[in-house]
Amino acid sequence: MKNETEGTAVTDTDRRLLLKATAAGIGAALMAAPLARAQEQAASVRVRGEAFAQAHQPKPLPFNSSSLNGLSQRLIDSHWSNNYGGSVRALNETKRRLADALTDRDLPPYIYNDLKREHLMRTGSVVLHELYFDNLGGNGRADAAAQRLLGAGFGEFGRWEAEFRRIANGLGGGSGWVILGFNSQFGTLENYWMADHMHNPAATVPLLVMDMYEHSYHIDFGSAAGQYVDAFFNNIDWERVLARMEALRLSAA
Amino acid sequence: MKNETEGTAVTDTDRRLLLKATAAGIGAALMAAPLARAQEQAASVRVRGEAFAQAHQPKPLPFNSSSLNGLSQRLIDSHWSNNYGGSVRALNETKRRLADALTDRDLPPYIYNDLKREHLMRTGSVVLHELYFDNLGGNGRADAAAQRLLGAGFGEFGRWEAEFRRIANGLGGGSGWVILGFNSQFGTLENYWMADHMHNPAATVPLLVMDMYEHSYHIDFGSAAGQYVDAFFNNIDWERVLARMEALRLSAA
Amino acid sequence: MKNETEGTAVTDTDRRLLLKATAAGIGAALMAAPLARAQEQAASVRVRGEAFAQAHQPKPLPFNSSSLNGLSQRLIDSHWSNNYGGSVRALNETKRRLADALTDRDLPPYIYNDLKREHLMRTGSVVLHELYFDNLGGNGRADAAAQRLLGAGFGEFGRWEAEFRRIANGLGGGSGWVILGFNSQFGTLENYWMADHMHNPAATVPLLVMDMYEHSYHIDFGSAAGQYVDAFFNNIDWERVLARMEALRLSAA
Amino acid sequence: MKNETEGTAVTDTDRRLLLKATAAGIGAALMAAPLARAQEQAASVRVRGEAFAQAHQPKPLPFNSSSLNGLSQRLIDSHWSNNYGGSVRALNETKRRLADALTDRDLPPYIYNDLKREHLMRTGSVVLHELYFDNLGGNGRADAAAQRLLGAGFGEFGRWEAEFRRIANGLGGGSGWVILGFNSQFGTLENYWMADHMHNPAATVPLLVMDMYEHSYHIDFGSAAGQYVDAFFNNIDWERVLARMEALRLSAA
């Protein structure tokens, strides 16, 4: 009956999101929210496992590593298995040591915090890498809806792109990330510079994530970071970016 | 009619959240989500203003600064007006300079990024301070629902509290924050150590935020950070923490 | 005989340095260099103890803590015993744990490095605090020799002071240090901004060290960092700064 | 007359140091100290130029870039011209902007400090890169004198090497430096972990410097940082390390 589902209609976007999220093994709780609205009985987000559980598993690449345009299979495979994979293993190991350390009453809190720093670092590395690979594999063409939202958030779409590219180029030769995010406290779309895995904007939902650690490009481009920036833009999966925006039900002001 | 509002019922918690959010001037987009569900026509989150707009205004304290238990009015007023207020002003100034810098084609990207670092820093300071003051002003008693969720996330509630306090004590004499957050990528409740305003866990919704910069306690306690940790716990507004959890519709696994 | 000691004469400054260094328990190897030149037999700098030895002892304040002008005894005593003293104790504890960890073959190197970060942090805190207290206790008046050297290094003395004060004021509300140092690779006198104990200019000899952590001033001034900056300048012991310069045998170009 | 130069004799090591320092264009003030002692009339270290002077020039590689054992010419050339060279240019540019900013009375101090952070970062990058290249190009065999000093500083030489390698391996996949340094405040030889160009041990003279930014190895080894660590050790120029030790007139306790 129409009345029963009003306001909770399953949109085409929701369906696409559901399929993609399942396929990619991505199940961000935030993304689940609008899907939940589409399902009468599934109103809540479950807490999945304990804080200290050592159950992190690498998520498979959501695309064939040989299929990218201008980014080599060797680069992508190494990035995924060594840098991302290494951080997944390190996160589990860190949580194992934290669980032990928590019961050690003689451990000074500042030494405990040395492990918490590793925890923050590895959490950032795992989460950001997952979002990064998940927004690669596309054709680099932003659809109208994403362009409209970014136009609303930045005055015009080109201004968004100019800033995002500038931040990326400025990080060449160092380490860090660039993200476009929705700052949920301010209600704004903003680009953020981050110098390592621990840097993140507060209370912000990442929408487009770009790795600028040198392991993201040196195998292919050496120190020519600008070539990598171009290649990254050519491979953005804008459908994923849009799906993340739609999961938040973002609309222009 | 009962049928018309089924699945979108305005709960008592939603009402409390609505009132508090309005009173406190807090309108986090994420918090708006369950409210939105209560309103048939308001399905989307609006992008509020441009990335570079210099329109940040300090949010009033959600409690009377003389009303806290063991934290002095002088401390709270100074913290709010000088540290938080100073960052609001600095964030506007930084955005003004970024908007200018973006049009300066001769500016090297790494110099542009020096301003983006200030942007990340001030964003963290403003957002985290707002969430911090917003979760102060309570009686420090966690209600059963919050205890149940933290028990699910940490094995038992006491384990959550032990870790949160330990991180806080380990930050004494330095700078930083402790937060309990919902990691939306992992689906876990976790405590995070952060050493400055730029540190934040990726893709995480803050639920309880504690300032450990020395300006949070030195006026009252000098270097006795442990006394501040106790005082903070005595003043947590658990209704706000629970409201943030409910905005995510968190449920135990 | 005059001839025998020519070129290695014990200057008045050397004598003053020797007395002060002895009185204050300060024996920086670099400072020992010109003194060594004055002694025929003592040509070398001894390595004092092992890298992992847990033998750090707090150095007594080189002045009476109640004698400063505009900085209270309570502030200075707390700073010395809690912040500096706490870091001395933490440095010993960290070295004890590093010595153990080095023999643990199952410990992942990145976890070992979490302790090495604490080592870097506490080393910075101990060393910088010792230099800070050692250059306090004076009357704030720079003698002609120091003014001449800073004039040579910065164009004019006032330019040096303007920059040093500006950096200090910009750190208000956060954490960090300001130092004037001699960059031994560049051969320049420069002021440096540092945001925490781990930040330091490479290959640089500190000449004037100023603590900008909030524990340096909040007890006396609350968030009014500018008042602390003025008070610091009124208490600089320029004789110590000059002695550090003379230990390097610095001369204007 | 023998008597006149006693205690200031030019040793063989001084001569070797003088030749190498001249050849490599390295003129660290600290290294100049013992040389100065060898010259009756040159007792002082000159301040070379102003703090804000934009006169930094890249120092040529002290070896042929095709001559290293297991580190490719392409890697070394790219590292020298792009990463080191880029930082030299950026340091000049940053100083130019600082000189302008210092005269701008409307510039908030915290914005001024954004440039001072770039100054600290680029200073570290330039200095550390110069010291790094300067201690490459050797045959990797530590002579007896260096082994004796490191044995004195670490209990045994093997313990020094084990820790240095461990720190390096733990930095794989990230950014940073490892240095062996003489902490002039403590009088100890210690290894230090550093996560970026701004990290440095306080008041410490670098003796052996190792770059662990991914640009140091990715072109040759991809993410296999361990292979780079081995290659680095095979190419250490221990004569340079020893010369730096001798410039300090270090002796075992």
pLDDT digits (tens, 9 = 90+) for A50-100: 999 999 999 999 999 999 999 999 999 999 999 999 999 999 999 999 999
State how far residue A197 is from chain D, nearest Cα, in angstroms: 10
Q: Which residue has the higher pLDDT, A212 or A33?
A: A212
Query: Whose CA is closest to C180, among C248, C227, C113?
Result: C248
Say what the pTM is.
0.87
Gyration radius from chain D CA atoms? 19
Nearest to C50 among D30, D49, D155 (CB): D155
Predicted local confidence at residue A51, as pLDDT: 97
Q: Which residues of A touch D (CB under 8 A)?
A: 74, 78, 82-83, 86-87, 173-175, 195-196, 213-215, 218-219, 222-223
Residue to substitute from C10, C47, C159, interface D, most D β-carbons within 10 A: C47
For residue A185, the distance in angstroms to the closest alpha carbon of chain C comes to: 22
Report pLDDT for A2.
33
- Tell me if residue D74 falls in helix, strand or coil: helix
Helical axes B144-154 vs B157-170, angle rounded to 10°: 80
- The pLDDT of residue C32 is above 80: no
pLDDT value at residue B10: 35
ipTM: 0.86
Q: State how far the Cα of B149 lies from the Cα of B153, in Å rounded to an integer.
A: 6
Q: Could you tell me the pLDDT band of residue C253, with boundaries at 50, 70 and 90? A: low
C185 is written with which tokens? 């690779």
In percent, how much of chain C has pLDDT > 70? 83
For chain A, give the mean pLDDT: 87
Q: Which residues of D touch B115 (CB under 8 A)?
A: 111, 114
Q: Please list every residue in chain D whose beta carbon sits closer than 8 Å to the beta carbon of residue A219.
A: 218-219, 222
Q: Which residues of D touch C154 (CB under 8 A)?
A: 50-52
- Tell how far CA B100 is from the center of its chain: 30
Q: What's chain C's average pLDDT?
A: 87
Amino acid at B189: L
> Residue C3 belongs to what H/E stretch?
helix C2-5
Which tops the pLDDT comparison, A152 or D10?
A152
Nearest CA in chain A to C118: A114
* Mean pLDDT of all residues belonging to chain D: 87
H helices, E strands: number in chain C: 11, 5
Task: Using pLDDT thresholds of 50, 70 and 90, give the confidence band for residue D29.
Answer: very low
CA distance A87 to B186: 14
Instruction: Provide the pLDDT confidence category of residue C43 given band limits of 50, 70 and 90.
Output: low
- Collect all residues from A whose CB is shorter than 8 A from any CB in C: 90, 93-94, 97, 108, 110-111, 114-115, 117-118
Q: For helices C238-247 and C29-38, give the axis angle rounded to 10 degrees.
A: 70
Which of A47, A112, A130, A198 is the best mutation test for B, with the most CBs of B within 10 A?
Answer: A47
Taking only the tens of pLDDT, chain B with its 253 residues reads: 233 333 333 344 433 343 333 333 333 333 344 434 433 334 578 998 999 999 999 999 999 999 999 999 999 999 999 999 999 999 999 999 999 999 999 999 999 999 999 999 999 999 999 999 999 999 999 999 999 999 999 999 999 999 999 999 999 999 999 999 999 999 999 999 999 999 999 999 999 999 999 999 999 999 999 999 999 999 999 999 999 999 999 998 6
Query: What is the distance between the alpha carbons of residues B209 and B133, in angstroms, rounded to a whole number?
Result: 9
Which of C175, C196, C215 lies nearest to residue B218, judging by beta carbons? C215
Q: What percent of chain D has pLDDT over 90?
A: 80
**The two structure tokens encoding residue D65:** 């870039």
Q: What is the pLDDT of residues D148-181, one digit of tens each?
A: 999 999 999 999 999 999 999 999 999 999 999 9
Lookup: tokens for A71: 């980014």
Predicted local confidence at residue A43, as pLDDT: 54
- Separation between Cα atoms, residue A66 and residue A210, nearest integer Å: 19
Optimal mutation site among C185, C194, C199, C205, interface D, most CBs of chain D within 10 A: C185
**pLDDT band with cut points at 50, 70 and 90 for residue D43:** low
What pLDDT, on a 0 to 100 scale, did the predictor assign at position C37? 42
pLDDT band with cut points at 50, 70 and 90 for residue C44:
confident
State how far residue D46 is from chain B, nearest Cα, in angstroms: 31
> Which residues from chain D sit within 8 angstroms of residue B117, using beta carbons?
114, 117
- The residue ranking higher by pLDDT, B31 or C128, is C128
Whether C124 shows a pLDDT value over 60: the answer reads: yes
Q: What is the mean pLDDT of residues C232-247?
A: 97
**Cβ partners under 8 Å of residue C88, min gap 6:** C56, C57, C58, C126
Which chains, if any, share at least 3 CB pairs under 8 A with chain B?
Answer: A, C, D
Q: How confident is the model at residue D253 (pLDDT cuts 50, 70, 90)?
A: low
Q: State the average pLDDT over residues A202-228.
A: 98
Contacts of residue D93 in chain B, CB cutoff 8 Å? 108, 111
Does the distance separating the beta carbons of A110 and C114 come in below 8 Å? Answer: no
Nearest CB to C115 within list A93, A94, A114: A114
Give the one of D110, D111, D118 whose C-beta lies nearest to B110's C-beta: D118
CA distance C8 to chain B (A): 45
More confident residue, B13 or C200: C200
A55 interaction partners in chain B (CB closer than 8 Å): none
C82/B222 Cβ within 8 A = yes
Task: Name chain D's partners: 3 or more CB pairs within 8 A.
Answer: A, B, C
